[in-house]
Structure 1
Amino acid sequence: MKQLKFTDFVFFLFFFTESLTLPTKPQDENYKSPLMKFIEENIEYITIIAFAQYVQEATFEDVEILVKDMVEYKDRCVANKTLPECFKLPNNALQEKIFAMEGLPQKHNLSHCCSKVDFERRSCFFFNKKADVAFLPPFPTLDPEEKCQAFKNSRKSFLNRYVYEVARRNPFVFAPTLLSVAARFEEVAGACCEEQHKATCFQTRAAPVIQYLKAFSSYQKNVCGAYLKFGTKVLNFMWFNYSEILSKIEFKIQCVRDTSKVMNHICSKQGSISSKIQECCEKKIPECGECIINSNKDDRPEDLREAKFTDSETLCQERDTDPDNFFAEFTYEYSRNHPDLSTPELLRIAHVYKDVLSNCCKTENPPGCYRRAKDKFNETTEKSHKIVQRECEHFQLWGKDGVKYYYLIRLTKTAPQLSTEELISLGEKMAMALATCCTLSEEFACVDNLVDLVLGELCGINENRTINPAVDHCCKTNFAFRRHCFEGLKADETYVPPTTTKDLFTFNADLCQAQNEELQRKKDRYKYSLPFLFFFMKYNLTDEKLQSLFTSFTFLGPKIGS
């Protein structure tokens, strides 16, 4: 799994939600901007993605009808920008066309959205999305020869259907990410269809594309969950972490929400902002932004002003004048000065700083109080470092499989209400995070970023998601400190497990006959049952002892049939 940053998906969030608009008046000077040209050129894909994510049950035939309508709409507006219908935002136009499709709103429970407007309508569509896609049929698979024949017959039709199938199963992934996935898969199909061993080629070359999608899906679901539970202020703090990568970028540009303008600004001032983004600025949308976000960090700048936030005599007055801007600037400066820290840790520091000022500004000597803020920052970071250090020690001791089972135990104890599949998936992602990060020089930031995303998946997107009181408290109380909160969770002893049956550990022959990934899945399902068996039957076994039992179980498959 590639180490990605929170700013990756914040970039895409603003790109799609705020930049994807038609001009509000015919003479809009930005009408032929690179962004608008990109939208025009990709209107079919954008329509497919939006519709498939809004109405996941919709058929591909429904999608094709809407695509045809939206292409005609775009063509009319390009030909005559003064038409009344062309003053609508594309998203509004698309939603209205969905409402106009005969019987579709009633069939797919969208009728209640039809009477809403603006933000309420967008929210209504958003909450219609379903994170659990088990209701959809399995992803359609074709024999490699059939796949390549369909690709050669009509590359456009083949890719449109691929985008539709991926989008409806990933309703919270931002459109630019899915466009990138489609482009990458097109390259894979083009190359593999010329190979003799097509199946092997697809299996090898498609794996990184799937991993790319999984990684971004995790990040983007997390940011959606953060927004729904904690509002825009959390996103604002994430957005300010551009300064981690482009430490010379001036503070004022960080306040610009239209990401296309941010990218234009950065690329127009490469010399003063960064020496490492020239190739990125030569790329097209959205590759330009993704490239900039993933570029190497600049050298530490000389104009750091972090000290002013602990040494100034007038901090309380400055804070009270414009609190939002004041704390945003603090986060910006602290990020530039501490590029080794993770985004969650920077959010923790910002939260600690708010608390410090809140307490100190009530005392008789505020400056004497808040000058000790750095001690609080160091205490917080030291605690976070110790958590990561302990996690990587587990990885070094037990390896990837052992760590997976260790977290499967912990998660099962703290959140036994989750399904088998979800617990296994979360355990696997925890293990993947440690396997990815625990050998890197930037171990702390990498682990803290990725593990926090796993917790984001556990907490889910819906603000009303409930698991149990302790887990809900960690998920909903404080976004910055949920990692510390989860670290202190104990087992949920109020949970009443399902009744165990005598055939719980009856091993059928198919366990030995299963291969590779299928075999691993079957074994994981058995291992999942062990925490219930030992913990809920009150056996006094430590996590480490259970982990040892799970590791031994790894060798069960080969031995059963011997």
Structure 2
Amino acid sequence: MKQLKLTGFVIFLFFVPESLTLPTQPQDVDDVNITQKFIEENVGYITIIVFAQYIQEASFEEVEVLVKAMTEYRDKCLGDVTLPVCSKLATDVLLENICALEGLPQKHNFSHCCSKVDLERKLCFLHNKKTDVGFLPPLPTLDPEEKCQTYKNNRESFLNNYIYEISRRNPFVFAPTLLTVAARFEEMTKTCCEEQDKANCFRTKAEPVIQYLKASSSFQKNVCGALMKFGLQVLESINVAILSQKFPKIEFKELTSLLKDVSSKYDGCCEGDAVQCIRDRSKVMSHICSKQDSISSKIKECCEKKMPERGECIVSSTKDDRPKELALREVKFTESENVCEERDANQTIFMAEFLYEHSRRHPELSIPELLRIAGVYEDLLKECCHTENPPDCYRRAENKFNETTEKSLKTVQRECEHFQNLGKDDLKHYYLIKLTKIAPQLSTEELTFLGKEMVTALTTCCTLSEEFACVDNLMDLVLGELCGINENRNINPDVDHCCKTNFAFRRPCFEGLEADKTYVPPSTSQDLFTFHTDLCQAHNEELQRKKDRFLVNLVKRKPELTDEALRSLLTDFTNVVVKCCKAEGPEACFNEEGPKLAAKSQAA
């Protein structure tokens, strides 16, 4: 599957409750019993995900205690559903159990959340989540033979541990996505443990699973960030654009009906309410498949499949063909005499219909670009509807749309020229410098990750025919990562302005940013130039990571240096590593060369 397809309609990754325990029959309509059975059978996995995402520092042993408590709760309620405790929401029961674990709230510093109730408590736990997981130890790696033996000896403990590790490192990923990753991981383990060359098998099969998780995480954080910073209306605009592009023959009335189910599910999913998230998504998938004749001609076979296969099938299906009777332009919004009257009657519905009509006609545009065009149109009508002759004024709307797209297209072309001219490594250095200068308050880990993702976006997209939409979609997701989910994430005034002022125009806003003038670098940079022989043990990717970290830390300490001076110092650092690792006494060499490089940075 092309990366473009994955991100261009990545919203559909999240509609189906995928589980390690699969229902045995196809789900043709919304079947509450099947969804409930799924939740009951997977209570252990769901508990691990919620606990590990909320309390990332918790040990696996502490998580196991909670799993035992929640399994007992399930069994008690299956035995007698009339018990008072069984009428509570599952998430409330889960959080109560977390807070009841002796000494844990104090140990992991979440007592303040336990003193709250209901939604306030849930939001407190949500704000407790940390995107930057640099405080966690490296992800444990097992030798392939050892991995297979561990799986064979105790499948349940093996999978529980895997779900725990990926959940605490991906605190904002929706529970169904993590269950899908775990199911794929188990499938991969079964296959590779039968192979002669297990190591190569795991390497090959792990890559698409990692990409699926990364793409899912990026999209979900972006959409939840939009919901929490800008509210439901912006979230609904994103969904209108995505659904209309994917299903261009869907009627607007049907779209608004589907939109209610799609948008409402995000409350639970974004807040980390795994059970509600699963229920709401199941409802959306049933809605899509029960109305498939009026939604898309491409998903019939998908809807005949069982969960979770049908969700994956819909994700990978191509965009539906544009209806033949659909004209390239919808004149109703630019030629009608009554545009202002229709807008004033119900502005929300009117703008949603405009976005729907424009999106279904322009599959070649990115989601952010479609939202920009809707913003331009809305601003134009505010101006035109107060003039003496509104129709004369809004007839120039198409020219405005073209100007907006041309501007965005030039930005993408410029970025792809960087990709063509600089090559992968230099391009990464370019973005590492740029991002660190505008947001030096972010951790080194976050900045190196964001720089790498920028390069991945351009490497993926700049050779495709759908270059514009692909680049704009993926780079917008990277900015979503930078801006974060929580409302209370503050970086610096200029970055905060771009992140919080206008969702559709944040990318053009970031384009205009320069180095943060409010940033005060650390007073000493001596440790930056203290090198050790561990550099000689690092090879390939690990060495590249160390170079990236050096560059980011150099910019953090010397933000006033030009890009050329910074790249020159990075080259010097690389040369020092090569020279000293070849020397008879590497440590002595590093002790000599480090101060020289520090002096050069002072003089630069």
Aligned to 2:437: 413
Aligned to 1:26: none
Q: How does 1:378-417 map to 2 (within 5 A)?
A: 378-417=402-441
Q: Is the 8 A contact 1:6 1:238 kept in 2?
A: no
1:167-212 deviation per Cα after TM superposition (whole angstroms, max 9, x unaligned): 1121100011101110111122112222333333323322332232
Aligned to 1:289: 311
2: CA distance, partners of 1:233 / 1:417: 30
From the superposition, tell whether residues 554 and 400 of structure 1 become closer, same or farther in structure 2 (CA, over 3 Å). farther
Q: CA deviation at 1:502?
A: 6.2
Q: CA deviation at 1:38?
A: 2.8
Q: Is the 8 A contact 1:7 1:238 kept in 2?
A: no
Aligned to 2:247: 246
From the superposition, tell whether residues 109 and 388 of structure 1 become closer, same or farther in structure 2 (CA, over 3 Å). same
Q: How does 1:75-94 map to 2 (within 5 A)?
A: 75-78=75-78, 81-94=81-94
From the superposition, tell whether residues 123 and 515 of structure 1 become closer, same or farther in structure 2 (CA, over 3 Å). same
Structure 1 counterpart of 2:7, which letter? K
2: CA distance, partners of 1:313 / 1:46: 55
1:197-249 deviation per Cα after TM superposition (whole angstroms, max 9, x unaligned): 33333233223322322222222222222222111222111221211111122
Residue 296 of structure 2 is aligned with which of 225, 250, 274?
Answer: 274
Q: CA deviation at 1:500?
A: 5.5
Residue 308 of structure 1 is aligned with which of 308, 315, 332?
Answer: 332
Q: Is the 8 A contact 1:10 1:239 kept in 2?
A: no
1:483-533 deviation per Cα after TM superposition (whole angstroms, max 9, x unaligned): 000111122244332346567556655434421211112222333355468
2: CA distance, partners of 1:328 / 1:118: 33
Q: Is the 8 A contact 1:173 1:217 kept in 2?
A: yes
Q: CA deviation at 1:296?
A: 0.5
Aligned to 2:57: 57
Q: Is the 8 A contact 2:499 2:506 kept in 1?
A: yes
Aligned to 1:261: 283
Structure 2 counterpart of 1:433, which letter? A
Q: Is the 8 A contact 1:9 1:223 kept in 2?
A: no
1:259-283 deviation per Cα after TM superposition (whole angstroms, max 9, x unaligned): 4333223223433432222332233
Residue 491 of structure 2 is aligned with which of 467, 479, 499?
Answer: 467
Q: CA deviation at 1:386?
A: 0.6
Q: Is the 8 A contact 1:402 1:551 kept in 2?
A: no
SS at match of 1:218: helix
Structure 2 counterpart of 1:148, which letter? C
1:93-128 deviation per Cα after TM superposition (whole angstroms, max 9, x unaligned): 322333343343444444444454443332222122
1: CA distance, partners of 2:31 / 2:304: 21
1:376 and 2:400 aligned? yes
SS at match of 1:335: helix
SS at match of 1:416: coil
Q: Is the 8 A contact 1:459 1:475 kept in 2?
A: yes
Structure 1 counterpart of 2:250, which letter? I
1:428 and 2:432 aligned? no
2: CA distance, partners of 1:394 / 1:528: 20
From the superposition, tell whether residues 405 and 75 of structure 1 become closer, same or farther in structure 2 (CA, over 3 Å). same
2: CA distance, partners of 1:502 / 1:96: 48
Aligned to 1:166: 166
Aligned to 1:157: 157
From the superposition, tell whether residues 100 and 417 of structure 1 become closer, same or farther in structure 2 (CA, over 3 Å). closer
1: CA distance, partners of 2:336 / 2:35: 43
Q: CA deviation at 1:400?
A: 1.5
2: CA distance, partners of 1:206 / 1:153: 22
| Sequence identity percentage | 67
Aligned to 1:19: none
1: CA distance, partners of 2:234 / 2:259: 14
From the superposition, tell whether residues 350 and 554 of structure 1 become closer, same or farther in structure 2 (CA, over 3 Å). farther
Q: CA deviation at 1:160?
A: 1.0
SS at match of 1:311: coil
Structure 2 counterpart of 1:247, which letter? P
Residue 10 of structure 2 is aligned with which of 8, 11, 25?
Answer: 8
Structure 2 counterpart of 1:353, which letter? Y
Aligned to 1:359: 383
Q: How does 1:65-144 map to 2 (within 5 A)?
A: 65-78=65-78, 81-114=81-114, 116-144=116-144
Structure 2 counterpart of 1:243, which letter? S
1:304-350 deviation per Cα after TM superposition (whole angstroms, max 9, x unaligned): 68322222222223222222222222212211111111111111112
Structure 2 gaps, min length 5:
18-28, 262-279, 583-604
1:126-184 deviation per Cα after TM superposition (whole angstroms, max 9, x unaligned): 12222222333332233333222110012122101110111112110001110111011
Aligned to 2:21: none
1: CA distance, partners of 2:527 / 2:120: 51
2: CA distance, partners of 1:554 / 1:45: 45
SS at match of 2:334: helix
Residue 462 of structure 2 is aligned with which of 423, 438, 454?
Answer: 438
From the superposition, tell whether residues 511 and 225 of structure 1 become closer, same or farther in structure 2 (CA, over 3 Å). same
Residue 299 of structure 1 is aligned with which of 321, 326, 340?
Answer: 321
From the superposition, tell whether residues 112 and 526 of structure 1 become closer, same or farther in structure 2 (CA, over 3 Å). closer
Q: Is the 8 A contact 2:30 2:282 kept in 1?
A: no
1: CA distance, partners of 2:534 / 2:109: 41
Q: CA deviation at 1:36?
A: 2.8
Q: CA deviation at 1:435?
A: 0.2
Q: CA deviation at 1:75?
A: 4.0
Give me the CA root mean square deviation: 2.9
Q: CA deviation at 1:79?
A: 5.3
SS at match of 2:513: coil
From the superposition, tell whether residues 456 and 555 of structure 1 become closer, same or farther in structure 2 (CA, over 3 Å). farther
Structure 1 counterpart of 2:313, which letter? C
Aligned to 1:347: 371
Shifted more, 407-416 versus 247-256: the winner is: 247-256
Shifted more, 105-114 versus 62-71: the winner is: 105-114
From the superposition, tell whether residues 244 and 35 of structure 1 become closer, same or farther in structure 2 (CA, over 3 Å). farther
1:479 and 2:503 aligned? yes
Q: Is the 8 A contact 1:10 1:238 kept in 2?
A: no
1: CA distance, partners of 2:282 / 2:402: 36
Structure 1 gaps, min length 5:
17-28
Q: CA deviation at 1:69?
A: 3.3
From the superposition, tell whether residues 502 and 546 of structure 1 become closer, same or farther in structure 2 (CA, over 3 Å). closer
Residue 333 of structure 1 is aligned with which of 357, 374, 378?
Answer: 357
Aligned to 1:447: 471
Shifted more, 33-42 versus 526-535: the winner is: 526-535
SS at match of 1:157: helix
Q: Is the 8 A contact 1:402 1:550 kept in 2?
A: no
Q: CA deviation at 1:31?
A: 6.3
1: CA distance, partners of 2:339 / 2:119: 37
TM-score normalised per structure 1: 0.88
Shifted more, 234-243 versus 190-199: the winner is: 190-199
Structure 2 counterpart of 1:60, which letter? F
From the superposition, tell whether residues 68 and 270 of structure 1 become closer, same or farther in structure 2 (CA, over 3 Å). same
Residue 528 of structure 1 is aligned with which of 525, 545, 552?
Answer: 552
Aligned to 1:222: 222
2: CA distance, partners of 1:350 / 1:63: 46
Q: Is the 8 A contact 2:132 2:446 kept in 1?
A: no
Shifted more, 68-77 versus 486-495: the winner is: 68-77
Aligned to 2:275: none
1:519-551 deviation per Cα after TM superposition (whole angstroms, max 9, x unaligned): 1122223333554687525xxx4x478668868
Structure 1 counterpart of 2:288, which letter? I
1: CA distance, partners of 2:300 / 2:409: 35
